[in-house]
């Protein structure tokens, strides 16, 4: 499969990742001569159902998810600094720009997730890529839920840009540290968001 080869993963890993994205309604597959897998662009994510999903998660469950992402994303960033193909290194800064320019909830969720998944792909680890895709489907939408104060797009893009620079510089330990710090920031926000959602019930 040409796309799998471009990403540096097996066809099975790509199929599994696409299956997860299909379940979340982020992509759709069409059959026929002009068929293929296409990104779906819902105009308005279901904010009420996302809040309900966050309300149903305990603080312990959120922390467990963050612990897993801490391990997965931190390791992926370190390995990406050591293994990333040139095409991935060139792609990452553009994804940071894309997030900075994203307007609207859906665009921000997609841009944020794309960066995380691309770092995992750049690690050239199929298992880490599968886990990061799964984690993004569980966490990314919740992280960007509207709340006062709003999540600062420029700040998140700046975190991403620092990670991208460390990967480009082939500094694995710095890339890991920055990725882990980014996950810690996300956990703090999700914990505060959940508290606000529960208190507002």
CATH number for the domain including 148?
Answer: 1.20.120.530
pLDDT level of residue 153 (50, 70, 90 thresholds): very high
* Residue 129 resides in a domain: yes
| Number of domains forming the structure of the chain | 1
Q: What is the pLDDT of residue 37?
A: 66
Q: What is the mean pLDDT of residues 149-170?
A: 94
Number of Cβ within a 10 Å radius of residue 151: 17
Q: What is the pLDDT of residue 27?
A: 66
* Residue 4 resides in a domain: no
pTM, 2 dp: 0.79
* Residue 104 resides in a domain: yes
* Residue 177 resides in a domain: yes
* Residue 156 resides in a domain: yes
Q: What is the pLDDT of residues 59-106, one digit of tens each?
A: 899 999 999 999 999 999 999 999 999 999 999 999 999 999 998 888
* Residue 62 resides in a domain: yes
Domain of residue 147 covers 57-199
User: How does DSSP classify residue 150?
Assistant: P
Q: What is the pLDDT of residues 23-69, one digit of tens each?
A: 656 667 777 666 666 656 555 667 888 889 999 999 899 999 999 99
Q: What is the pLDDT of residue 178?
A: 98
Q: What is the mean pLDDT of residues 139-166?
A: 91
Q: What is the pLDDT of residues 105-125, one digit of tens each?
A: 888 999 999 999 999 999 999
* Residue 195 resides in a domain: yes
Q: What is the pLDDT of residue 103?
A: 86
Burial pattern 18-55, b for ≥16 Cβ within 10 A else e, equals bebbeebebbeeeeeeeeeeeeeeeeebeeeebbeebe
* Residue 41 resides in a domain: no
Q: What are phi and psi of 28, to 5 degrees?
A: -135, 145
Q: What is the pLDDT of residue 13?
A: 76
User: At 29, which helix (H) or strand (E)?
Assistant: strand 27-30
For residue 149, is pLDDT > 80? Answer: no
């Amino acid at each position: 499969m040409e796309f799998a080869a471009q990403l540096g993963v097996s066809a099975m890993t790509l199929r599994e990742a696409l299956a997860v994205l299909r379940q979340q309604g982020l992509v759709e597959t069409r059959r026929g001569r002009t068929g293929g897998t296409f990104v779906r662009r819902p105009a308005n994510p279901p904010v009420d159902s996302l809040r309900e999903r966050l309300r149903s998660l305990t603080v312990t469950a959120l922390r467990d998810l963050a612990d897993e992402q801490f391990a997965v994303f931190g390791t992926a960033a370190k390995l990406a600094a050591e293994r990333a193909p040139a095409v991935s290194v060139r792609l990452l800064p553009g994804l940071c720009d894309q997030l900075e320019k994203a307007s609207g909830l859906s665009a921000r969720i997609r841009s944020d997730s794309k960066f995380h998944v691309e770092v995992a792909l750049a690690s050239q680890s199929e298992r880490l890529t599968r886990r990061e895709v799964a984690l993004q489907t569980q966490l990314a939408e919740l992280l960007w839920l509207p709340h006062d104060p709003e999540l600062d797009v420029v700040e998140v893009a700046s975190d991403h840009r620092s990670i991208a620079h460390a990967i480009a510089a082939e500094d694995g330990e710095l890339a890991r540290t920055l990725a882990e710090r980014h996950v810690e920031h996300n956990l703090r926000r999700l914990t505060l968001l959940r508290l606000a959602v529960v208190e507002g019930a």
